[in-house]
Amino acid sequence: MLLHTAALWNPQSLNTLTNGSVEGMNVTATNPPSAVLHDGTRIPVTKAGGGPYLLLPVRTAPYDAATAATMRAWGGDPDLGPTLVNGLTDLCTVIAADYEGHRLTNPAPATLTASNVAADLLAIADAAGAERFAIYGYSWLAMAALQLAVRTSRLEGLVMGGFPPIDGPYAAMLAVTRAAHDAAQAAASSPSPATPEAAPGDWDAAGIQADPDQTAQFVTLYEDLQMFDDSARQLTIPRLCFVGELDNIVYGPQWGDTRVVIADAVRDHHDELTAQGWTVGILPGLDHLGAMRGDTVVPLLRGWLLAGALSRKGASG
């Protein structure tokens, strides 16, 4: 599975990657605001709850039943966004926007650099009226949140899941995304005959179901990050990072047998991270998909919030 999105292997999910409000969410407006991103495209933004702002770049629109069933079969959590939003709005004002889904339906193959991703996240916060806010991201969106944190003084807190704050797998992910892009280009230029549906969990057999522009944007992003030195960045805001203890991803031959080290990087730098002020969680028995599930993440975020990670400054009231 590509670290940035499982949707590249699932044509059904690509057809349903649109944003929207969640039934049962106490959103603040019938017609939610939208943010203008660096490429001029607009992304809907929803806001729910009260108190300090917490930005979640997650999808809140429900999936159709067939897509949800497929996601569950492959270990995903189709209810992730609603679970996060509804589990946190009593403690904070949640800002939600489906940034990954937007980038899959509105790819930016030449311009998805780290600085532009950070600018996009700031634009989402601006659309919600949040001058100061915290952010939680998982997988590549955790890396995006870190890129935001090193570029702005507006953050009050940072939560990274499924991506190490120190010794991040930037070179490995560039290799994987280049392989994905090569496969997407090959499929686009010479479509292969239909193949039997892959068994859930067999990511190599599943192949790539993506437009080359979708994969190209992640090549652009990871190329831009090759000179980024995460060990040199010192942050002072409240910070939490967590990973599943089994979250080291080994790709097959079509990906160059690349190993993406996530959990081991957090373990190896645990003392350094805690010395820098990070709260660190290594979750027993969980892999990359398991550690991102809503029923896993909500208690972690609630504990962090209840421990006083965020002040009431800039609260929405």
What would the pLDDT profile of 255-303 be if each residue is shown by its tens digit? 889 999 999 999 999 999 999 999 999 999 999 999 999 999 999 999 9
Is 0.85 surpassed by the pTM of this model? Answer: yes
Residue 302's alpha-carbon distances to 2, 86, 91, 139, in angstroms, are: 28, 12, 8, 19
pLDDT for 174-198, tens place per residue? 999 999 999 999 989 886 666 667 7
Which residues neighbour 85 within 8 Å (Cβ) at sequence distance 6 or greater?
22, 25, 46, 48, 56, 58, 60, 94, 96
Query: Does residue 19 have a pLDDT over 60?
Result: no
Mean pLDDT, range 2-29, rounded to an integer: 41
Would you say residue 10 has pLDDT above 70?
no
Please state, rounded to an integer, the average pLDDT across all residues of the chain: 88
Of the candidate ranges 5-9, 36-40, 278-282, the one whose mean pLDDT is the lowest: 5-9
The full set of domains in the chain, from first to last, is: 6-306 (3.40.50.1820)
